[in-house]
Amino acid sequence: MGAFRNAGSNNASPSTEDRRLWKHVHDNVHGNIYLDPLSLKFIDTEQFQRLRDLKQLGLAHMVYPGAVHSRFEHSVGVYWLAGNAIEKLKAHQGLELDIDHADIQTVKLAGLLHDIGHGPFSHLFEREFLPQVIDGSKWCHEEMSLKMIDYIVDEHNIDVDSGILKKAKEMIIASSKNAPIKTSKEKLFLYDIVANGRNGIDVDKFDYIVRDSRACGLGCNFQFERLLDTMQVIDNEICYRAKEYLTVHKLFYTRADLHRTVYTHAKVKAIELMFVDALVKADNYLLVSSFIHDPSQYWKLDDSIIKTIETDDAEELKESRELIKRIRRRDLYQFCNEFTVPKDKLEHFKHVTSRDIICSQKSGVSNLKEEDIAVSNVKIDLTKGRNNPLESINFFEDYDCKEKFPINNNQISHLLPACNQDLIVRVYAKKPELVGAVSEAFENFQLKTYGMKAQVHGTPERKKCRIFSC
């Protein structure tokens, strides 16, 4: 049975009779990808093509020059992996699971369209910008994806089965906090493929982990193919062979490592903080936040906003233009220092603000203002906060076995982490001459809050020299 599983091709190509209707493209991660006729109807719209103008990693390319890949290629990659996953399940358990053509089409469509509602500059748009311009906003790109799908279908008169469309949208939002509760128990395992709210193992992560690592020039020894080849549905849930426990752990660890070294890189965050300030200042003029509820307007938003701000001569954009100019000239907000919140303080941690730092100044020493400081609260985890995501995963012993079970970390290795989350507080001075004062206030804040300095290094000497030479 195991030999049979490993013998199959990773890329399922269309049947001979359908091949004339499919489109073949070559992807630099997955190789040959075949696009089916229904998917092409969505791809060949201006709304989906917009994803070419959304960089997958937002502004990270200003630190990692190769990170210029787009949401378009990621979405096509997830489409392909979603198709591979369900085709493998059908090949191995087809009669048992009753997987039909509609199921395959639904899963592939969910993979293709899962990011259609993403805003400019990756997650920065919804997590950093919108909360500053819309009070109490609960906007999320998953829900916008659902609105965009309906809009595309209506705008382009796409003939798609209503049942397939409904289930595809449910799969897209399956991992969201706002995901609807599924009352039917029919084929729940299908919802584990694209956006797995049950345990976090899904083809979305498979694609972006490998794609992002390659684009940034980083090594990646996580092999998603092993998980695709060894998965099995037991009691309506996708489970994994117990031998692949460390492969599963490597998935979550590699994702966390990308967050630490790329997505939340100190320089990347400095650039993001500057751009968010620029976008917030520009919003009264550009009215970007007014587009977020109307798909007919929203699809016009992409990463070109930065060029619009940069080249528009309007007086209302003067401050925003200056910030973009500073980013271009590498005159960035200056990283002062960081500390990792102690493990025993994680449960009751509250985000640190600029005001917290200001209130920690020594009286009479300096006169910092809130607008002089930028604070970044960085959370890095294994997808389940302080909980271990592997506790939510079920495994099986061998392919002939139909019993599923969890595996405790202690049964595998004592080297696996006892804590599954880091909270890192970083502080930046918006002007280089303020680095010393901000750093001192930041140290005072740590002493007042924790009774010690939690940071591991002092203000870089070259920055001190720069300060004293001013």
Instruction: Dump pLDDT digits (tens) for 354-413.
Output: 999 999 988 766 689 999 999 999 999 888 787 888 889 999 999 988 899 998 776 666
Do residues 391 and 406 touch, judged by C-beta distance below 8 A? yes
Q: What residue ranges of the chain are covered by domains with CATH 1.10.3210.10? A: 2-266
Do residues 111 and 78 touch, judged by C-beta distance below 8 A? yes
Mean of the pLDDT values across residues 448-452?
Answer: 85
- Run of H or E including 421: strand 421-429
Spatial separation of the C-alpha atoms in residues 427 and 458, rounded to whole Å: 13
Task: Calculate the average pLDDT of the chain.
Answer: 90
Give phi and psi for 270, each to the nearest 5: -60, -45
pTM of the model: 0.92
Give phi and psi for 234, each to the nearest 5: -130, 125
Q: Which CATH fold topology does 333-382+420-470 show?
A: Alpha-Beta Plaits (3.30.70)
Q: Could you tell me which residue, 430 or 179, shows the higher pLDDT? A: 430
Spatial separation of the C-alpha atoms in residues 439 and 195, rounded to whole Å: 41
pLDDT > 90? residue 109: yes
Residues designated as active site: 141
Strands 373-381, 421-429: pairing is: antiparallel
pLDDT > 60? residue 263: yes
pLDDT > 60? residue 9: no
Q: Could you tell me which residue, 206 or 449, shows the higher pLDDT? A: 206
Q: What residue ranges of the chain are covered by domains with CATH 3.30.70.2760? A: 333-382+420-470
Q: Which of 125, 105, 113, 108 lies closest to 42, judged by CA?
A: 113
Mean of the pLDDT values across residues 89-108?
Answer: 95
**DSSP states of 128-179:** IIHHHHSTT----HHHHHHHHHHHHHHHTT----HHHHHHHHHHHTTTSTTP
CATH 1.10.3720.10 fits 2-266, yes or no: no
Q: Mapped to the 3 state alphabet, what secondary structure does 40-68 carry?
A: HHHHCCHHHHHHHHCECCCCHHHCCCCCC
- Run of H or E including 396: strand 395-396
